[in-house]
Amino acid sequence: MLERKTAVGKMSNESFIVLSMFGVLIIFFIAASLFVPRFFNIQTISNQLSQQAELIILSIFVTFLIISGNFDLSVGGIVGLGAVLSAYFCQSPTGAGMELARGLGMPYGVAIIASLLCCMCIGAINAFFVTRLKVASIIVTLGTWALASGVALIITQGSQRNAGLPYVFKKIGSFSLVGTINTSVLLMIILVIIALIIEKKTVFGRRTYYIGANPVAAKLSGIKVEKHISILYLASSFLAGLVGVIMGSIHNAGISSLGVGFEFDALVITLMGGTSINGGFGSVMCAVVGAFILGIVSTSLNMLGLSPDIQTIVKGGITLIAILSQRFALDRRTT
């Protein structure tokens, strides 16, 4: 375990890493402003906030799970499933003669609740296999990612559900308070604040760190490890489903591919921000900083006209460099 405190009166390792990565964020921002044409303007900067909002929401409990020593790679599939189910559940049951326009005709509020409950079933499957059958979380969640993605593809028949939707379906996604401050941004701010309070001020947060540091010792000390991890998986799938509902509303359609790559990006920003892949160390704020670093990199590469394949390689390279840099910085700090 990486000690959260180095010594009395000194900055904690967690704060040290967050501040270090915040410094990296500033360096990336300055570099992009100097070398990427049209990057440094109000529109591009404000867009960063809205573009990263859904990913940050998604990464909150992905971060908690990594701190606890577990992974959740199913979130990308759950996002697509949440979007598709929210559309299917509230589409008109008649469908105007078109199969993809025919749904269950639920009121929109009921459709959202039903979609989120279905998404949480994926989290329950993750929790069962990880806590009861002791299967490695990375394997289980890859399987449930495929399960969620497959169900979404079947419901959409490889296309999308965008007909027969009630007018209210797009209201959540079209809401905007000021400029780019939309539903996703407001929800992100609220959830990050709540997550930080849980992380820093509650017994639940402290237990997450204890489990990640040493699950056997945590269990011997009276912590119900299996129950705790199960709650984390249910919460992670809930937020993934919620992101799917919001993104479905933004696109005014149930599209199974909406969450493609989100599981990778959520993992990347969490590790890039400073959360330890070994568990027991990290913070939701790490994911927030990592999200904006990734956002600046992605926007810069897009504006420079680089292909998505090259962008994926660059993201992977930056993630490896970030992890190695954090390990080197902490080793130097504690010697």
What would you report as the CA-atom Rg of the chain, rounded to the nearest whole angstrom? 20
Cα 275 to Cα 218: distance, rounded to the nearest angstrom: 20
- What's the pLDDT at 169? 93
Averages of pLDDT over runs of 10 residues in the chain (335 residues) are 45 74 86 84 77 93 95 96 96 80 92 97 98 96 97 93 90 79 91 95 95 94 96 98 96 93 89 82 89 86 83 78 71 62
At 6 the pLDDT is: 41
Determine the straight-line distance between the first and last CA of the chain, rounded to whole angstroms.
16
Contact 252, 172 (CB under 8 A): no
Evaluate whether 134 touches 229 at the Cβ level (below 8 Å).
Answer: no
CA atoms of 312 and 26, how far apart (whole Å): 22
The partner residues of 182 in beta bridges, in order of sequence, read: 176
CATH 1.10.3470 fits 13-330, yes or no: yes
pLDDT for 1: 47
Q: For residue 191, what pLDDT is reported? A: 96
What pLDDT is recorded for position 43? 75
Quote the pLDDT of residue 25: 85
Q: How far apart (Å, rounded) are the C-alpha atoms in residues 283 and 214?
A: 18
